[in-house]
Structure 1
Amino acid sequence: MSHTTSSRKRTLITASAASLGALALTFAGAAAAQAHVGVSTNTSEAGAYAIATVSVPHGCDASPTTQISIKIPEGIDAVTPTRNAFYSVEKVTETLDTPITDGHGNEVTERVAEIVYTATTPLPADQRDSFELSLQLPENAAGSTLFFPTVQTCEEGEAAWVQIPAEGQDEHELELPAPGVEITEAGASSHDTEEAETAEAAEQNNEGAGGQSALAITGVTLGALGLITGAFALLRNRK
C-alpha cells in the first residue's frame, strides 16, 4: 500500500468517526429537548384522594425556570400544594357558577383554579424539579383524561404546556402537550393501576432518556453506513 493511499484511508476513517460522533450528539440533544412536562398520580381511581406530581425536566432551551403555573381541571375544587424550599406558592381561586356543598355540609362558593410556584432561586436549565398537589379526583371522571395545563416561565421566554389533543388525535403530535392523567374506575385493583403507571413511566422514559439511546443507535448506524461507503470509494480509487 502506498503512502498516499494509506494517508487517504486514515483521513477517511477520521472524517467518518467525526461525522458519527456529531450525528450521535445531534440526535441525543434532540431527544433531550423533546422531554415534556408531565403529571403522575399515586392513584388514578375516580373519587380517590391523590397526590398529583407535576414534573419539569428542563428549562426553556438554556434559560433557568423562574415560575410554574399549574391549571387545575374542572371538577377539582380543593387543592393543597406541597411546600418547595426554592419557591413561594400561591393559590388562585375563582367563583363557582353554582355553589356546592362539601363533605362537611359547608357551602362552597369558589374553587382553586390554579397553583403558582414562583422561584426564589431559579431552577437551572439542566436540572429538573417536581411539584406535588394533594387533591380529590372527580367521582364521575372514570374513562377520561384530566389535563393540568402548565405554563413554565423562564428568565428568557416561556414554555406553555397547554395543548390538549382533539378527539382521536395522538398527543405525541403536539409540540407542547398539557400534562394529563387517565382516570380509572373506582375500585380498580392496585395491580392494574401499577401496571398502567409502569407503562406510562416507560413511555415517558422512551421520550426522554430512553429516546436518546434509540437516536444514538440511529446515529451509529448512519455513521457505519458512511464508513462502508467511504471504503468502497477508496477501493475504486485504488483500482
Structure 2
Amino acid sequence: MPLRHVVAALIAASCAVWMPAASAHVVFEQKQAAAGSYFKGVLLVGHGCDGSATRAITVTIPEGVQGAHPQPKPGWQMEVTRAKLVRPYASHGKTVDEDVRTLRWFGGTLADAHFDEFRMLMKLPEQGGKLYFPILQECENGSHEWTQVPADGQGTRGLKSPAAELEVVPAGPAGHSH
C-alpha cells in the first residue's frame, strides 16, 4: 500500500474520532470536576459558524464559580468583565463582593476546518450539581449562541445550542501521601 494511502487512512480515522466531539459544538474536555476544587477548564471549539472562521469566544461564568481567569493564547487578546455578586464570599481573609462574570478571547482566527482549546482556571462551588457556561461564538460571518440550559431533570441531548456543561461531583475523602 503506498504511503499516501496510509496517511489518507490515518487522517480519515482521526477525523472519525473527532467528529462526535465536533458535533457537540463547544464542550469541556473534562466533563466532571470535584466540588470545591481549583479546576482548569478546557473548552473545545470544534468548528466555526456555517463555514466561517471563529474570531471571538465569550464565556459567561455561572454563579458560585469563584476567581475565574483565562489562559493567554498566542495571537488572541483577552477581556475580563467583573460584576457585583449576589452572594459575596470570603477569600484569604477578605470579603469578595465582585468577581469575574465573563471571559472573552478575541482578535485571533480559528478556521472552520480546525479546532482549538480555550482554557481557564476557576474555583468550583462546594456543592455538587451541574454548572452551565453559556458561550457566544463570533465568526467572520455571523455568530452562534451556545446558551441553552436544559430544564430540571432533562439532559442536554436534543438541545440545538447547548451551553457547555460541567458536572461538579462531591470531593473524595481526604487521603494522605507518604
What TM-score, normalized by structure 2, do the two folds share? Answer: 0.80
Cα 1:51/1:188, change in 2 over 3 Å: farther
Cα 1:180/1:32, change in 2 over 3 Å: closer
Query: Shift of residue 64 of structure 1?
Result: 0.6
User: Would you say the 8 A contact 2:31–2:165 is kept in 1?
Assistant: no
Question: Which residue of 132, 156, 161 maps to 1:176?
Answer: 161
- Deviations, residues 60-118 of structure 1 (Å, cap 9, x unaligned): 0110111000011110121121110021011111012343321x111212010010100
Question: RMSD in angstroms over aligned alpha carbons?
Answer: 2.3
List aligned pairs for 1:99-118, cutoff 5 A: 99-102=88-91, 104-118=92-106
CA distance in 2, matches of 1:95, 1:86: 31
Cα 1:155/1:49, change in 2 over 3 Å: same
Partner of 2:120: 133
User: Would you say the 8 A contact 2:34–2:169 is kept in 1?
Assistant: yes
Cα 1:186/1:42, change in 2 over 3 Å: same
Cα 1:99/1:138, change in 2 over 3 Å: closer
Q: Unaligned 5+ residue runs, structure 2?
A: 1-15
Query: Shift of residue 36 of structure 1?
Result: 1.5
User: Would you say the 8 A contact 1:71–1:115 is kept in 2?
Assistant: yes
- Residue correspondences, number: 157
Larger Rg: 1
Query: Shift of residue 169 of structure 1?
Result: 2.1
Cα 1:130/1:32, change in 2 over 3 Å: closer
CA distance in 2, matches of 1:43, 1:60: 27
CA distance in 1, matches of 2:130, 2:117: 20
